[in-house]
Amino acid sequence: MLPELGLVRSDDLDGVLAAVDYDHAPYAGGTELVPAMGLGLRRPAAVVDLKRVEALRGIDVDAGAATVTIGAAVTHRRLSDHPAVREHLPTLAAAASRVGNARVRSTGTVGGNLCFAEPRSDLGCVLVALGATAEVRSARVTRTLSIDELIVGAFETSLEPDEILTTIAVPFEPPGMSYWKLQSYERPTLGVALVVSESRWEVTVGAATERPTRAVLAAGDTAGLAAFVDGLELSDDMTGPPEYKRSVLRSHLGRNLGATA
């Protein structure tokens, strides 16, 4: 059961940044925070509503820099339906369209997904594969991090208690990109993002790993690919033992890279 909670609301970013700290948890869709509070894993005195902050809700295309900048409080649904995202980041749009369920997609946000750092997630894997960067702000400082620097472990980010993720800058999708996931349960069991060109194989594995894990290999480097796959520490949980997940991963890579990983 949820405890009684305070609610802090502000229309502007500075108001939000002034309020957020360990006891005042940033809140947008609540699809991760509310269950965590229900289980007693997170007990803030108040939640700070990010949904009304315009600066966190934008989806902006910079054609010159070939990037799309996505506000942290953009919902999965808006992300997946947005024409610019569909045009420049079709794999991300498709992944967002299959996150969780309709209820989660309608309220859950990109920022919440990344900041909760649930390993069994799609967006982190796709954004690592795309080389996205995150802007993080507090009342004190503004930092720019790679997604890899933001997500440092299972349910663990490098955010300070007074910091929030504000935007994610995503380079336009390169040719040869795909994302595939095995999702037998509520959350993905295994996610694989590939960027394949004539010269390079970029492989990012998520969901079964503590955090998205990326390898950049020369095209055709089957030995390197095999070493990467063999070296992955894969989770052992209800969705299957590591050897199962490794087998599914090998089979997917085999089909898509024409290689026996």
Partner 1 sequence: MSVPTGSVPRSDGWEKVTGRARYAVDMALPNMAHAAVVRSERAHARITGIDRAEAQAAPGVIAVVTADDLGYLGRRFGHIVCDHPILAVDKVRYYGEPVAVVVAETPQQAADAAELVWVDYDDLPALTGAAGALASDALIHEQSYPPPGEAFLGVAPAASTDNVAHHDELAWGDAGAALAAAATVVETTASFPLVYGYAMETYNAVADWQHGSLHVISTAQHPLMVRKELARIFSLPLAAVRVEVPYIGGGYGSKSYTKLEPLASVVSWAAGRPIKVTTDIEGAMNTTRADGAVVTVRTGFDAGARICARDIEIRFDTGAYADNSPLVLTKSINRSFGPYRVPNLRVRGTAVYTNTSPASSYRGFGAPQGALAGELNMDMAAERLGIDPVELRRRNLLAPGDTIIDGKRPLDADLVADLDAIVAALERPAPSGAHAPADVAGRVRAADSASAPATDGGHDAGSGPLRGWGVAVSASDAGASPISTAQVRMHADGSVTLLVSSTEMGQGSRTALAQIAARELGVPMEAVAVGQSDTRFTPFEWTTGASRTTTVVGLAVQAACTDLWNNLRAKAAESAGVSLDRTEVHDGRVYVDGEALTPAEVIRQWFGADAGEVVGVGVIRRDGATEMLPPFWEIGAVGVEVSVDTATGEVTVEHLVTVGDVGHAVNPDLVKGQDLGAATQGLGIALWEEMVYDGEQLTNPNLIEYRVPRLRDTPRRITSVLAERGDGAGPYGVKGAGEGALNPVPAAVAAAVGRAVGVWPTEVPLTPPRVWSLLQEAANEV
- Which of 182, 208, 229, 257 binds partner 1 (CB under 8 A)? It is 182
- Which of 252, 257, 259, 261 binds partner 1 (CB under 8 A)? It is 252
Gap between the Cα atoms of 114 and 124, Å rounded: 6
- Which of 142, 144, 146, 184 binds partner 1 (CB under 8 A)? It is 184
**Residues 198, 207, 235, 148, Cα dihedral to 10°:** 70
For residue 176, which of 118, 256, 96 has the smallest C-alpha distance?
256
Q: With binding defined as CB under 8 A, does residue 248 bind partner 1?
A: yes
Interactions with partner 1, residue window 39-58 (CB under 8 A) = 40
Give Cα 243 to chain centroid, integer Å. 25
Cβ-contact 222, 243 below 8 angstroms: no
Gap between the Cα atoms of 41 and 53, Å rounded: 27
Among the candidate windows 56-64, 134-142, 203-211, 242-250, which touches partner 1 by CB under 8 A? 242-250
Nearer to partner 1, 39 or 199 (CB): 39
Q: With binding defined as CB under 8 A, does residue 185 bind partner 1?
A: yes
The token pair at 235 is 């989770």
How many residues contact partner 1, by CB under 8 A? 21
Q: With binding defined as CB under 8 A, does residue 244 bind partner 1?
A: yes
Q: With binding defined as CB under 8 A, does residue 187 bind partner 1?
A: yes
Q: With binding defined as CB under 8 A, does residue 238 bind partner 1?
A: yes
- Which of 63, 146, 255, 258 binds partner 1 (CB under 8 A)? It is 255
Q: With binding defined as CB under 8 A, does residue 23 bind partner 1?
A: no
Q: With binding defined as CB under 8 A, does residue 7 bind partner 1?
A: no
Q: Enumerate residues 6+ apart whose C-beta is below 8 A from 189.
A: 120, 181, 182, 183, 207, 208, 239, 240, 245, 248
Gap between the Cα atoms of 115 and 86, Å rounded: 23
Beta bridge partners of 45: none
The token pair at 76 is 């999965």
Q: With binding defined as CB under 8 A, does residue 161 bind partner 1?
A: no
Among the candidate windows 123-131, 210-218, 221-229, 246-254, which touches partner 1 by CB under 8 A? 246-254
Gap between the Cα atoms of 74 and 213, Å rounded: 25
- Which of 70, 239, 259, 261 binds partner 1 (CB under 8 A)? It is 239
Interface with partner 1 by CB under 8 A: which residues?
Answer: 1-4, 40, 182, 184-187, 189, 238-241, 244, 247-248, 251-252, 255
